[in-house]
Amino acid sequence: MKPGTTLPPLVVAIGGAIWLGSQTATISRIETENKDLGSRIAAQRSRPGGGGIDRPQTTPERSRTTAKNAAPKEEPFDWKELAGQMAQMQRGGGMADMKSMIRLQQRLQKMTAEELAVALDEIAGLDLPEQEQMMLEQMLAGPLAQKDPELALNRFLTRLNDRNGIWGWQLSSALKQWAEKDQTAAAAWFDARIAEGKFDSKALDGKSQARTQFEGALLSLLIGSDPEEASRRLAEMPEDQRGEILKHHEFSNVKEKDHSAFAKLVREQASEKERPDALGQPAAKLASEKGYAEVTAYMERIQATEAERAAIVTRAAQGRLSTLNHSSPVTSVQIDEMRTWAAAQAPGSEDKATGKALADMAGFNDRNQFANASKLAGQYHESTGNDEILTTFLDGWAARSNREASRELAGKIRDEKKRAEVLKKLQ
């Protein structure tokens, strides 16, 4: 991931890693699901009669009773039962009952930081499998970080290097939340932990994924409040790690007034190879939320070069079409719209943009989504004659999850050498 929704940023973990049953989901997909959930909550709250979920019709007798008595106390959480339900949903790859999820989120949001800390202690005292305990902790981490990000960071700091790096992603968002309230204190805490070796790398290449995530989250805030400090911090990182930091998902939220400062930082400190991808980071969100015209304005604002424009167009296509595909399967009309815009903004980029966008749309172990995306890839390859559409599409991970269908599609690649290379990857 962060978007402006009803839910706090770290609750994205529930939508992504738990409720959607897919820890491999991309940030953009997770954000989309999170926004959809936020919209449903808002819709429920806007209904006549208040913001409750599944509120029964109130009778005069019930109204008198409610007026005389305090609201009934909530039943204590049955953490073991809840953990079992989550584990079952994750194994099944399904979405939780939406109304139950909303009720749970609303209840957690009402809890204080102290109450959440007590609940976490209760969970730690249970004899739960590691995976189930982690899911419960992640569920509470979001509300805790919203109310007391420092407490959340200190509580879960030892989890930074846990599986899949998901804690690093969540806690880096907590650092940004803290920095939004007290930038000096948040940066001082981070620097102190660096000095203590908490962010030292254990990898052979010397790179720390957690350090990258935290630096990216903090820099995405500093770019607007103190660009010189952002530049200083980034310059202290090894040169071969700066590009990865600048591709942190939080940079997709850079404000319009800070676009030029962001582009300046990227051009000064990222390698030539990594600059286009980093500059494309805000484009996906602009396209998905506001449309292609906003991306055009962004490119003009930062005076993008030809190479930068091609990369930005590709990222924008991915963001826009993935968002559209979330509501209903993308059609050739929508792809044609994208291709017309791409050809006008970066001539020659439309085929790669098509392949990349379709690869993103191919789904998360969803055979129907893959079938629709691969059908479109084949149609556009046939009509354009450009193998780049298929080679780019088949380079996505979804293709490797559907090897038989992908190999059949790869057989249509006209260039013999490219066809052999793709087929080898799909063995």
What are 316-330's pLDDT values in tens digits?
999 999 999 988 999
Residue 29 has pLDDT above 70, yes or no: no
**H or E segment to which residue 113 belongs:** helix 113-124
Q: What percent of the chain is modeled with pLDDT above 90?
A: 62
Q: What is the pLDDT of residues 398-408, one digit of tens each?
A: 999 999 999 99
Residue type, 426: L
Residue 47 has pLDDT above 80, yes or no: no
pLDDT value of residue 10? 35
Indicate the DSSP class of residue 200. -
**Residue 298 pLDDT greater than 90, yes or no:** yes
The mean predicted confidence, pLDDT, of the chain is: 83
Residue 425 has pLDDT above 90, yes or no: yes
Phi/psi region, residue 282 (left: phi>0; alpha: psi -120 to 50; beta: rest), is: alpha
177 neighbors 153 (Cβ within 8 angstroms)? no
Q: Which residue has the higher pLDDT, 53 or 209?
A: 209
Confidence of residue 17 (pLDDT cuts 50, 70, 90): very low
- Cα 283 from Cα 186, distance rounded (Å): 28
Determine the straight-line distance between the first and last CA of the chain, rounded to whole angstroms: 33
Q: Is the pLDDT of residue 423 over 70?
A: yes
Q: Give the tokens for residue 44.
A: 């429920």
Query: Which residue did the predictor score with more confidence, 348 or 17?
Result: 348
83-88: list long-range contacts, CB under 8 Å, 24+ apart. Answer: 83/128, 83/132, 83/133, 83/135, 83/136, 84/132, 86/18, 86/132, 86/135, 86/136, 86/139, 87/129, 87/131, 87/132, 87/135
Contact between residue 323 and residue 288 where contact means Cβ atoms under 8 Å apart: yes
Element (H, E) at 104: helix 98-110
Nearest Cα neighbor of 139 from 105, 113, 115 is 105
In this structure, is the dihedral angle defined by the CA atoms of residues 204, 205, 209 and 211, taken in order, positive or negative? positive
**For residue 368, with 0-12 CB atoms within 10 Å meaning exposed, 13-18 middle and 19 or more buried, which class applies?**
exposed
Cα–Cα distance for residue pair 372/378, rounded to 1 Å: 10
pLDDT at 72: 57
Looking at residues 13-25, what average pLDDT do you find?
Answer: 33
Domain ranges, ordered by start, for the chain: 1-47+80-148, 181-275, 306-427
Report percent pLDDT > 70 for the chain: 80
Position 81 scores a pLDDT of 84
pLDDT of residue 316: 97
CA 334 to chain CA centroid, Å, is 23
pLDDT surpassing 60 at residue 127: yes
Q: pLDDT confidence of 97, banded at 50, 70, 90?
A: low
Determine the pLDDT at residue 148: 96
Mean pLDDT of 24-39: 43
- Give the whole-angstrom CA distance, residue 152 versus residue 174: 7
Report how far residue 390's alpha carbon sits from residue 382's, in angstroms, rounded to the nearest whole number. Answer: 10
For residues 102 and 117, the model is more confident at 117
Contact of 156 with 138, CB cutoff 8 Å? no
* Residue 104 predicted with pLDDT over 90: no
Highest-confidence segment of 33-47, 102-116, 244-258: 244-258
Give residue-wise pLDDT tens across range 235-256.
999 999 999 999 998 999 999 9
CB 349 within 8 A of CB 343: yes
The pLDDT score that the predictor gives to residue 6 is 30
pLDDT at res. 73? 66
Mean pLDDT value across residues 89-95? 61
User: Distance between CA 259 and CA 279 in Å, rounded?
Assistant: 9
Q: How far apart are CA 364 and CA 270, in angstroms?
A: 31
